[in-house]
Structure 1
Amino acid sequence: MPTPAKAAKIEELAEKLARSRIAILIQTQGLSVKEMNELRSKVRPMNVEVQVAKNTLLRLAAERNQLADVDPNIFHGQTTVAFGYDDEVAAAKAIVDSLQNSNMVVLKAAILGGRSLTPERVEALAKISGGKPSAQAQLVGGLQGPLSTTYSLLTAPLRDLCYVLQARAEQLQQQQQTQSE
């Protein structure tokens, strides 16, 4: 049974995990307080909150949110969590960009959509140009193109039949006009 302070911390982490779109786990061991504050200030404009958390409490918070597909092996070593509340891509980009300037900070994993991501997948997510809206537009465009083509193919025979009937009606009308003259 956890102490009341730990139970409150588990509740806080569970609430943040539930609210966040992505939780990026990083190892910040060796960073000074000043460097940690700089990291926080760099990612704050992207609505990313950075917090040091104990692995056991973070694992219990993930279990409390029924994140069954999260690999329990990601909860090891010293862990700092970056909670991204708005855009998953922007949060990943902010963290990955911040990590490139530091030799001490290591990307461990992430939790996205109830599943854990490897560091490579987090870096790939950060490389999506234009962010989440651009990725969504590309997806819609990718779906819309084939659907538009299919619609055109299915409606072409009916449309062509209408054109033939209209041309025949105009031809008959012209023949009537020439006969009546």
Structure 2
Amino acid sequence: MATPTKVSAVEEITADFKESTAAVLTEYRGLTVAQLKQLRRSLGQETKYAVVKNTLTGIAAKEAGIEAFEGQLAGPTAIAFIKGDAIAAAKSLTDFAKDNKQLIIKTGFFEGKALDAAGVAALAALESREFQLARVAGVLQAPASAAVRTIEALRAKLEEANGGAAEAPAEAEAPAAEAATEEA
């Protein structure tokens, strides 16, 4: 018979699964409380790292429609429920596991797809979405003068490659460069 405590624990874990874009199942045997605290800090505020009961987690995963953890719920288990940048969290977990051999990454899921330990490592190897967005935003918000400087630098390289004389296509770009300067 299910106790109210176990029912609420299953409901909480189910909600964590449903609210997360990714989750990573780990074994933490041998880690100290201080090391677990350090791991939680490195994961950031949008990731919840929780020690879980295997039986209750299995029930919650089935209720949430997640099959990635079947056969993996054995031994001391903790799950990183990732609500933010899954790539950054996976990178934090893999970096921590490299420095602390006691942390074993077993399996995970990302956007509804099951990942094995190698899949989590591959996810960690990708560029962070925040970095990608910042890089794109930086390019899109570049002032016109930066674009003009880039065009001028390209023109100079073209002239240098052609022995001091720019080809017609480079001259065709000149009105566009002047228009960009006037807009700035």
- Mapped contact 1:71–1:115 kept (Cα < 8 A): no
Contact 1:10 1:61 in 2 (8 A): yes
Deviation at 1:3, TM superposition (A): 1.2
Q: TM-score, structure 2 length as denominator?
A: 0.67
**Closer, same or farther: CA 126–104 of 1 in aligned 2, 3 Å:** same
The answer as to whether partners of 2:28 and 2:78 remain within 8 angstroms in 1 is yes
Q: Which runs of 5 or more structure 1 residues have no equivalent in the other structure? A: 138-181
Residue equivalent to 2:170: none
The structural deviation recorded for 1:42 is 1.4
1:95 is aligned to 93
Equivalent residue runs for 1:15-94 within 5 Å: 15-45=15-45, 47-67=46-66, 69-94=67-92
Aligned-residue Cα RMSD (Å) equals: 2.1
Letter in 2 for 1:8: S
Provide the rounded CA distance (Å) in 2 between the counterparts of 1:16 and 1:102. Answer: 26
1:14 aligns with 2:14: yes
Task: Give the AA of the match of 1:48.
Answer: T
**1:124, 1:10 → 2: CA distance?**
30
8 A contact 2:25–2:69 mirrored in 1: no
In the aligned structure 1, how far is the partner of 2:130 from the partner of 2:115? 17
Structure ranking higher in helix proportion: 1
Q: Which amino acid aligns with 2:12?
A: E
Partner of 2:165: none
Structure 2: gaps (5+ residues): 136-184
TM-score, scaled relative to structure 1: 0.68
Percent identity over paired residues: 28
Aligned residues: 135
SS in 1 for 2:38: helix
